[in-house]
Amino acid sequence: MNANVKHIDCTGEPAVLSEICQKILLEAKSCEFDDDILFGLHLAIEEAFVNAVKHGNHGDETQKVYIEYNVSPEKVEIQISDQGKGFSPEKVPDPRCGDNVYKTGGRGILLMRAYMDHVEYNKTGNSVFMVKYRENTSDRMKKRQ
């Protein structure tokens, strides 16, 4: 992320998440990202933040969540980190397969990957970096050709 990155250190209360979400979405809206992208951004931020608090910080809403984000006309980049020991995202079962579809949880990462163009965890697994481009991947590839 570049020099325009904004940093937020916050606690894990739902009201805090709501405020941060609104802040990032307002910036994205001012850059004229469309409603579908805003919906996906909102969902991805919600799911990543909730995962950070529930799983990373073990539900302790007083522990810190660190957010870095950058909104530009081309893309929105967001990094959400928690104070936990991390996890292996590849070990999370696919919630679409077999009986997993009847489980009550485990869909957050799938939705983040579905709505964002790039989702990457650090090696420890306590920080996720996500990017949403204004144009989808195939449009960007066509422009490069």
Partner 1 sequence: MDKISPKIVVEYKVFATVVTLTQEKILEDMEITAIEHSIMPLINDADTVKMIINFSNVKFLSSAVLGLLIRISKKIYEKQGQLRLCCIDPKILNVFKITRLDRVFEIYDTQDQAIASFS
Q: How far apart are CA 97 and CA 69, in angstroms?
A: 33
Closest CA to 126 of 79, 71, 61: 79
43 binds partner 1, rule: CB under 8 A: yes
- Interface region with partner 1, contact rule CB under 8 A, candidates 33-41, 71-79, 83-91, 128-136: 33-41
Q: Which of 8, 10, 16, 111 binds partner 1 (CB under 8 A)?
A: 111
Record the tokens describing residue 138, joined without a space.
């195939």
Minimum gap (Å) between residue 60 Cβ and partner 1? 14
Q: At what angle do helices 14-30 and 35-51 cross, to 10 degrees?
A: 150
- Interface region with partner 1, contact rule CB under 8 A, candidates 4-12, 70-78, 110-118, 121-129: 110-118
CB nearer partner 1, residue 1 or residue 110: 110
CB nearer partner 1, residue 3 or residue 15: 15
Q: How far apart are CA 38 and CA 29, in angstroms?
A: 7
Q: Which of 104, 138, 144, 145 binds partner 1 (CB under 8 A)?
A: 104
Residue carrying the six token digits 């809206």: 29
Minimum gap (Å) between residue 77 Cβ and partner 1? 22
CA-to-CA dists, residue 136 to 13, 23, 139, 143, angstroms = 33, 23, 5, 11
92 binds partner 1, rule: CB under 8 A: no
Q: Which of 110, 131, 133, 140 binds partner 1 (CB under 8 A)?
A: 110
